Amino acid sequence: MQVKPIGIIHTPYREARGTPIQTPAGKGVRGWVEVFDEFVPGLKDLCGFERIWLLYWFHRAARGKLNLHVTPFLDKKTHGLFATRAPLRPNLIGISAVRLLSIRRNRLGISDIDILNGTPLLDIKPYIPQFDCFQVSRCGWVRDSSPIAVLADERFAQTMPRTQKCTSGSKTKSTQTFRKGDRTR
Ligand SMILES: C[S@@+](CC[C@H](N)C(=O)[O-])C[C@H]1O[C@@H](n2cnc3c(N)ncnc32)[C@H](O)[C@@H]1O
């Protein structure tokens, strides 16, 4: 099985600490998606959608042993990994329904972001309420009242080495954050 990035997600978030835990906490925060040239024809008609799903690779997830019981950001108790959205997973796949603001050639303006800068993009899909929005009567351990946290800490992430800190989202700089040796299992 092969997975290859189709682009790079550029955001204001350089470190896990302080990054929104989910997109509602990043409401209004803007970033952009750079789609690699060979995939640009596939963006036709996407502009009609207000929200899009981004699927991406948690390239800055912590290295080391995978825990199948984790304490997620939103609780003080441990839960099975698959009952959480923790970034450190067997396959480091993240999913966020962001707001689509604009499309100019290979550049998608987005807002409502919970993603680190330089994150490799794996796929884009339209958010379609008829398919993606359900009224449910159970939501497991997740409280429906105010969450205990809205911004992440560094428990699941690597910090960026000082020498590779970057200050803008240009292609050259952002791709430096996808380093040789990053976890790809
Ligand atoms: C709890 S996850 C939820 C992400 C997504 N909405 C999901 O449910 O798959 C969001 C957190 O993942 C971390 N994160 C975001 N992008 C990352 C990346 N490229 N590598 C590692 N951690 C990342 C940040 O700490 C962020 O606050």
The closest-lying atom of ligand 1 relative to the alpha carbon of residue 116 is: 16
Q: Where do the H-state alpha helices sit in the chain?
A: 129-132, 171-175
What is the C-alpha to C-alpha distance for residues 147 and 24, in angstroms, rounded to an integer?
Answer: 12
Instruction: Decide: 119 in ligand 1 pocket, CB within 6 A.
Output: yes
What letter represents residue 91's amino acid? N
Q: What is the pLDDT of residue 145?
A: 63
Domain ranges of the chain: 7-175
Residue 22 Cβ inside 6 Å of ligand 1? The answer reads: yes
Structure tokens at 102: 């604009």
Atom of ligand 1 nearest to the CA of 93: 9
**Residue pair 43/103 in contact by the 8 Å Cβ criterion:** yes
Residues of the chain with pLDDT under 50: 164-185
Ligand 1 contacts CB of residue 96 (under 6 A): yes
pLDDT of residue 161: 64
Protein residue with least CA distance to atom 10, ligand 1: 21
Q: 64 by DSSP, 3-state: which? A: coil
pLDDT value of residue 17? 96
- State the CATH class of domain 7-175: mainly beta
- Would you say 49 and 127 are in contact if contact means Cβ atoms under 8 Å apart? yes
| Residue 102 pLDDT | 98
Q: What is the pLDDT of residues 42-58, one digit of tens each?
A: 999 999 999 999 999 99
Please tell me the pTM assigned to this model. Answer: 0.87
Q: What pLDDT is recorded for position 185? A: 27
Please give the Cα distance from 111 to 93 (Å, whole number). Answer: 20
